[in-house]
Amino acid sequence: MLLEEPLETLRKSLGTARIVAFTGAGISAESGIPTFRGPNGLWKSYSPEKLATLEAFSRDPRLVWEWYDWRRQIIHQAQPNSGHRALAEIERRAAGRFTLVTQNVDGLHDRAGSRSVVKLHGDIWRVRCTGCQAEEPNEQVPLAPLPPLCRCGALLRPAVVWFGEALPEGAWERAHEAAARAEVFLVIGTSAMVYPAAGLVQIACHSGARVAIVNPDPTPADEFADWILRGPAGEILARLL
Ligand code: NAD
């Protein structure tokens, strides 16, 4: 079958290389978590671009929190899939030369056993105060009351990065440095359209990494690819191992 040969050469290239895996919502699709841009990505016909913004939150914090609460309930019921588990296993085998950078906020990489996850877009299981800025874990499902309030009385917000907001500084620095040093850069389940995160593919490619894409659909990052593995991440990463 056509897929075997690229899988085999990619597998060999992972042997001693410095590896970065860069994941997006697609890796969690097989766990039943809707992607943003897929056919099941709609919630009450609002588009995520209209909800995941500071403007939307300032206008209607309850509406935005209802959406996050809905997503938290889906994620809470979901389990990591074979794609998340394969990346945790690659981290064990390639200890010291593997970095996982994710755009996902769902925490499934941690639950699959990945130890060191660079979270570029924050964490849906943490909240941050819009007043005193205190941040803390919050795993209450469902959340009540909505919107939740901080002890200081101000509104809490999800500790995630909204469209138009800067990435957490430390996370971006770690991701940038890992991409620039990578020898093999795996791009898994991302539409590669949300910047600056998507720019990591170019950074890795221009710094000499070989790039592998794992995605059932074409993406703008395909032009940088040495390998394109078309199909669901869970299936392909399990076979890669
Ligand atoms: P996206 O929705 O823009 O793209 C998802 C990509 O995954 C698409 O290219 C799609 O073809 C691909 N895909 C679908 N099923 C797949 C599968 N089984 N295996 C591999 N690939 C598959 O998501 P994105 O690129 O991550 O970027 C948008 C933003 O959405 C990110 O900032 C992220 O924070 C956020 N987001 C996160 C989650 C989550 O945490 N699970 C869910 C939705 C959106």
Interval 98-133: pLDDT, tens: 999 999 999 999 999 999 899 999 999 999 999 999
Q: Which of 2-11, 100-109, 144-153, 213-222 has the lowest mean pLDDT?
A: 2-11
Half-sphere exposure (Cβ direction) of 108: Cα atoms closer than 13 Å: 31
* Mean pLDDT of the region 14-21: 96
Domains defined for the chain, CATH in brackets: 1-33+80-121+167-241 (3.40.50.1220), 34-77+123-160 (3.30.1600.10)
Which residue reads 């509406």 in tokens? 63
36 lines ligand 1 (CB under 6 A): yes
* Mean pLDDT of the region 40-55: 82
Residue 201: predicted pLDDT: 98
Single pTM value for the model: 0.95
2 pLDDT exceeds 80? Answer: no
- Told to judge if 121 belongs to the known catalytic residues of this protein, a careful annotator would answer yes
138 pLDDT exceeds 50? Answer: yes
Sorting pLDDT into bands at 50, 70 and 90, what band is 66? very high
Q: Which of 35, 108, 160 to mutate to test the pocket of ligand 1 (most atoms within 8 A of CB)?
A: 35
Q: What is the pLDDT of residues 174-207, one digit of tens each?
A: 999 999 999 999 999 999 999 999 999 999 999 9
Which residue reads 């990435």 in tokens? 167
Strands (E), the chain: 19-23, 98-102, 117-119, 122-129, 135-137, 156-160, 184-188, 210-214, 227-229
